[in-house]
Amino acid sequence: MTDFQPTGEVVIFVREEGFYPIQLSGLKPTAEEAAEHAACNPGTLRIEDMSGKVIWPEGTKQ
């Protein structure tokens, strides 16, 4: 049996109380997977890539 190792991008979840990084699975496009994670984590204000580009909510400008 092989352990699953995520291969996706590391993104930053920004919340009112702080932020935390997660590594996406890489099984879906980054924006799609990030949106799914945000839907499961109410209170997420935005998700950024490691360079600070906002990838969720879609269309957000900095």
What is the number of structural domains in the chain? 1
Torsion (CA) 17, 36, 51, 3 in degrees, nearest 10: 100
46 φ/ψ angles, rounded to the nearest 5 degrees: -165, 165
pLDDT band at residue 5 under the 50/70/90 scheme: confident
Q: What is the pLDDT of residues 8-61, one digit of tens each?
A: 999 999 999 999 999 999 999 999 999 999 999 999 999 999 999 999 996 444
Q: Which domain holds residue 40?
A: 10-56
| Residue 39 is assigned to a structural domain of this protein | yes
pTM: 0.81
| Residue 49 is assigned to a structural domain of this protein | yes
| Residue 5 is assigned to a structural domain of this protein | no
| Residue 1 is assigned to a structural domain of this protein | no
Q: How far is CA 55 from CA 2, 29, 42, 52, in A?
A: 31, 11, 16, 9
Distance CA 20, CA 1 (A): 30
| Residue 36 is assigned to a structural domain of this protein | yes
| Residue 51 is assigned to a structural domain of this protein | yes
Distance CA 61, CA 32 (A): 18
| Residue 30 is assigned to a structural domain of this protein | yes
